[in-house]
Amino acid sequence: MNIAIITARGGSKRIPHKNIKNFCGRPIIEYSIEAAKEAGIFDIVMVSTDDKMIAEISTNAGAEVPFMRSMETSNDYATTADVIKEVLETYKGMGTNFDNVCCIYPTAPFVNGEKLKKAVLLLQESDFDSVMPVTAFSFPPLRGMELKNNKLRYKWPEHAMKRSQDLETIYHDCGQFYVLNVDKFLKSGKLVTDNTGGIIVSEMEVQDIDNEMDWEMAELKYKMLREKGRI
């Protein structure tokens, strides 16, 4: 069995009510719920939250909220792994176990069912512990500089004169979702291990949303993709 968990804590200091804030006409969490349902490979699509308003919006969007998140996993120090473990353990106590779990963040409007299905199938057809979406850095990190006492210098001088196309492509986490083999996750307690697979996502479909400027940029990207029929 496969379960999709959307992690949506109520507290958000930088962007109030971030997980249910209006994004291009809808509460942003609805995009993650819709993507999970659209994938057609999850036996359960649920939202882990400590907030009654988030729970109501989530159930109206078609997700399950069979129990509320505990105080221990609702504070600023609880990790995503802590939340996933709590959900899995609670379901186990209810007599339900899962083979794979997909953790989707509630502020991930660029996720769709196709990406989720692709990641789950990759996990099932491989021996990976987990699978996650990544995107290439827009500027080669190996050409990066450091600034000390107003003085710049290359962090890696050996790469300073190399052409960008001759440097290794380096990727970073999209911050959208993780697909995990449940048994391997419970043993390691990690979302990313030395045996994690990746799927590449366009930079246009990736945007951290940590402040209002990020939010506006994400909406601009989303509208552009929608106009081009790419989302």
Beta-carbon contacts of residue 11 (< 8 Å; ≥ 6 apart): 74, 76
Which residue in the block uniquely carries the two structure tokens 């990641």? 119
Strand partners, 171: 136
* Integer Cα distance of 198 and 179 in angstroms: 10
Prediction pTM value: 0.95
> Domain range spanning residue 35?
2-134+173-227
- Residues 79 and 60: their CA atoms lie apart, in Å, by 27
Report the alpha-carbon angle 54-58-59, nearest 5.
120
CATH number of the domain at 103, please.
Answer: 3.90.550.10
Domain assignment present for 150:
no
Average pLDDT over residues 87-105: 98
The pLDDT value recorded for residue 175 is 96
Total number of domains in the chain: 1
Total Cβ atoms within 10 A of residue 100: 23
**Domain contains 158:** no
Q: Average pLDDT over the chain, rounded to whole?
A: 96
pLDDT for 1 beyond 80: yes
Mean pLDDT for 75-91 is 96
Residue 209 CA to residue 42 CA, distance in Å, equals: 26
Q: Could you report the per-residue pLDDT of 157-214, keeping only the tens digit for each?
A: 999 999 989 999 999 999 999 999 999 999 999 999 999 999 999 999 999 999 999 9
Q: In which band, very low, low, confident or very high, does the pLDDT at 11 lie, cut at 50, 70 and 90?
A: confident
Q: Is the pLDDT of residue 76 over 90?
A: no
- pLDDT tens digits for 29-70? 999 999 999 999 999 999 999 999 999 999 999 999 999 999
- Measure the CA–CA gap between 46 and 92, rounded to whole angstroms: 15
